[in-house]
Amino acid sequence: MAIAAIGGLIRGATGFGGAMVMTPILSVLLGPIPAVASALLLETFAAFSMFPAAARAAHWRTIAPICMAACVTAPLGGYLLLTLDPQLMRRAIAATVLVFALVLLTGLRYRGQQRLGTSIALGATSGVLVGATSVGAPPVIMYLLAGSDPPGVTRANLTLFVTIISLAALALMGWRGMLNEPTAIIALQLSPFYFGGVWLGSHMYGRLHAAAMRRWTLIFLLVISAIVLAL
CB 140 within 8 A of CB 119: no
pLDDT value at residue 190: 94
pLDDT value at residue 66: 92
pLDDT value at residue 50: 75
Lowest mean pLDDT: which of 1-5, 88-92, 185-189?
88-92
Residue 191 has pLDDT above 90, yes or no: yes
CA atoms within 13 A on the CB side of 157: 26
pLDDT value at residue 4: 92
pLDDT tens digit sequence for 149-190: 787 787 788 888 888 888 888 888 888 888 888 888 999 999
Determine the length of the chain: 231
pLDDT value at residue 111: 67
pLDDT value at residue 141: 79
Closest to 165 in 3D by CA, of 12, 13, 47, 34: 47
Residue 33 has pLDDT above 80, yes or no: yes
Which whole number is the average pLDDT over 49-66? 85
Question: pTM here?
Answer: 0.80
Of residues 111 and 65, the one with the higher pLDDT is: 65
- pLDDT band for position 208 (cuts 50, 70, 90): low
Rounded distance between C-alpha atoms, residue 81 and residue 104, angstroms: 25
Which whole number is the average pLDDT over 3-14? 84
Which residues are CB-neighbours of 109 under 8 A, at least 6 positions away? 142, 145, 146
pLDDT tens digit sequence for 110-123: 666 678 888 899 89
